[in-house]
Amino acid sequence: MNALRWVLPLISQRRVAFFGTIASSLLHQLGILALSATSALFLGHALFSASFPDEWRMLATVIAALALAVAVLAWWESYISHDLAYALLAVLRSTAFTELARSSPARTGARSGSDDTASVMGDVETLEWLFAHTIAQMLTSIVVLGAGGTLSALISPQLIGVWAAAAVLLFALPWALSRWGLAQGRKTRSSAVHVHSLFVETIQGIGDLTAAGELPQRLRRVEKADQELARWQLRSGTRASLEGALSETIVAGAGILAILLMGATVRDGRTPPELVAVAMVLAMGTLGPAAQIAGLLKNFGTLIASTNRLHTVFTAPDAAPAPDSPVHDIDPTQAGSLEFVDVSFGYNPDSPVLHSISFRIRPGESVALAGPSGAGKSTIAALALRTWDPDTGQVRIGGAPADRIEDPLLRRAVTAVPQEAHLMRGTVRTNLLLARPDASDAQVEQAADAALLRDPRSGLPEGLDTPVGERGDGLSGGQRARVSFARALLTGADILVLDEAAAHLDPHSEDDLTRALRTHAELTTLVIAHRTRTILACDRVLVLDGGRIVEEGAPRALLADNRSRLSTLLQRGAMEPG
């Protein structure tokens, strides 16, 4: 419920539309009640009033006008409520994207990115029911419930007991089953997210799965997850049907009791016969909103589950919070320097990954990080990019604490070339411009030339205008790596972090890029490497093991020493000799 209270203030952004939704819903429901009561009065006069022929034209005109008004109000209510809902969903989707981008590094469970995306977008769409069909309708149903009940009691006070008892039962029913519904809503949504994630991952990896002969097994896994989702959907549907059936039973039982009671009051002369139908319509019409509220509450479990998950995303802590007193400029004499001062860090408090790491890279220096898998190399790269902040110690970029540098300045000071280049649909040129949208053609071409993207050997038939499909489809791994490298150069950052950037390059192409880097002598590079040739191209190497720097020195000297940790890694096969 706390999470639901967090969502409701979003409505204040469109107060006029929200009050319009309440007004349209209230007028629509009151119009239905008035139409039903007038029609019942028409029938009562037709059966029992001798003066009816003098009044039927007026009543018929009122009924026709009310019928037209109810039809128009039904359209207006549907339009304005959905307009409000979709506007708020657009705000939620935009906010959800921002919050996922802000907190995504801190989301370190077993969930994948497609899990997060599917869950958040699915939960946002679920809230359409809350905004379009729940809040205003519940408020107006309560008003109509009170108005109709009061009018029916004025005609026949004995009906108040039947009306009140039925209303209490209708309200109590969904609350009695709410824990059941909440648990089923949570399970159904999580199963749906899991199926979506499996489906997306299977489609994305269908080539690899087919080549490995694992596609049939993967499809069986998808089918099993889909069957699990179907079971939870059936259980939720069964519960909802049970609630609906019980609600209908309560309304029908109340109707039977009201008929018996009205018959008795007519025989006793306490109720005029021509008002019997009006009293019955008012009593039963009043139970309609009560049943509607009960019907809305059937979906409360799913709404609460979705809202709770969104609340978790929107309130997740920053992995790297914005600085309170940001640094707006970096000392030009320190630009390009990168320093770790007694840095310790762990993704979980009980499992530290880095222990008291200290080193300094001078401007223009190239330093390799080597070590076995799990030694902490990629974690150092992430801290250098301020994806995270260290638990203790300090990372300094350009002489300034990284956690005090404002983000735009930080992104101009340090950038990365990842092992897996993330490319967008478009062309090679549009992918380069992601790094610097205002770059001139000359600047784009200079970066592209440094990465040999315009070289005849690049394999790009249309050069920088070569089409790029979703996730880089249409380009080889080496071509994607070159685009990523050129994009990093285009940022103009002083520090370049290469996280296995040459993994998809053949030795010849790697040598080409190494020569290209040497032409940018002003660049400071931190290189995560498993290849001997990559390490040898650096000025210095830091050898990590168990989250600690266990060796440091010139690459050639360490490789020439059979007793060095770097040579031991090569001998154990933890590094590629080429």
The closest of 21, 42, 24, 22 to 32, measured between CA atoms, is 24
Which pLDDT band holds residue 8 (cuts at 50, 70, 90)?
low
How far CA 470 is from CA of 197, 427, 435, 567, in Å, comes to 18, 11, 18, 41
Query: What integer is the mean pLDDT of 492-500?
Result: 86
Question: H or E element: which one contains 395?
Answer: strand 392-397
Q: What is the dihedral of CA 343, 405, 538, 573, to 10 degrees?
A: 40
Query: What local confidence, expressed as pLDDT, does residue 477 receive?
Result: 77
Phi, psi angles (nearest 5°) of residue 221: -65, -40
Phi, psi angles (nearest 5°) of residue 100: -65, -45
Alpha-carbon torsion (229, 233, 234, 239), positive or negative = positive
Radius of gyration of the CA atoms of the chain, in A: 35
Query: What integer is the mean pLDDT of 427-448?
Result: 89
Which pLDDT band holds residue 365 (cuts at 50, 70, 90)?
very high
Query: What local confidence, expressed as pLDDT, does residue 110 receive?
Result: 38
According to DSSP, the β-strands at 426-427 and 338-345 are: unpaired
Q: Rounded CA gap, 238 and 177, in Å? A: 12
Q: Rounded CA gap, 308 and 329, in Å? A: 41
Average of per-residue pLDDT values in the chain? 79
Per residue in 109-132, pLDDT tens?
A: 434 444 556 567 777 777 766 666
Q: Rounded CA gap, 422 and 418, in Å? A: 8
**Lowest-pLDDT choice from 129-138, 428-437, 487-496:** 129-138
Q: Rounded CA gap, 485 and 480, in Å? A: 9
Phi, psi angles (nearest 5°) of residue 270: -85, -20
Quick check: helix, strand or coil at residue 476? coil
The closest of 123, 128, 132 to 18, measured between CA atoms, is 132
- Characterize 438-448 residue by residue with b for buried, 16 or more Cβ atoms within 10 angstroms of its Cβ, and e for exposed: ebeeebbbebb
According to DSSP, the β-strands at 392-397 and 338-345 are: antiparallel
Domains of the chain: 2-314 (1.20.1560.10), 338-571 (3.40.50.300)
Query: What local confidence, expressed as pLDDT, does residue 112 receive?
Result: 45
Query: What local confidence, expressed as pLDDT, does residue 322 receive?
Result: 77
Q: What is the dihedral of CA 236, 242, 247, 248, to 10 degrees?
A: 120
Contact criterion met (CB below 8 Å) for 181 and 242: no
Alpha-carbon torsion (452, 453, 457, 463), positive or negative = negative
492: region left, alpha or beta (phi > 0 left; psi from -120 to 50 alpha)? left
Find the distance separating the first CA and the last CA of the chain, reported in whole Å: 60
Bigger pLDDT: 202 vs 126: 202
Widest Cα–Cα separation across the chain: 119
Q: How many helices (H) and strands (E) does the chain have?
A: 20, 12
Per-range mean pLDDT, top range of 193-207, 219-233, 490-504: 219-233
Amino acid at 242: L
Q: Rounded CA gap, 570 and 369, in Å? A: 14
Q: Rounded CA gap, 174 and 180, in Å? A: 10
Amino acid at 105: P
DSSP state of 527: E
Rounded-to-5 percentages of helix, strand, coil across the chain: 65, 10, 25
Q: What is the dihedral of CA 129, 133, 138, 143, to 10 degrees?
A: 170
Per residue in 239-264, pLDDT tens?
A: 878 877 888 788 778 777 877 877 77
What contacts 209, CB < 8 A, 6 or more positions away?
202, 215, 218
Bigger pLDDT: 549 vs 40: 549
Per residue in 279-325, pLDDT tens?
A: 767 766 666 666 666 666 666 666 777 777 777 777 777 767 777 78
Amino acid at 378: S
Alpha-carbon torsion (415, 419, 422, 427), positive or negative = positive
Q: Rounded CA gap, 149 and 284, in Å? A: 9
DSSP state of 353: S
What contacts 16, CB < 8 A, 6 or more positions away?
none
Q: Rounded CA gap, 446 and 452, in Å? A: 10
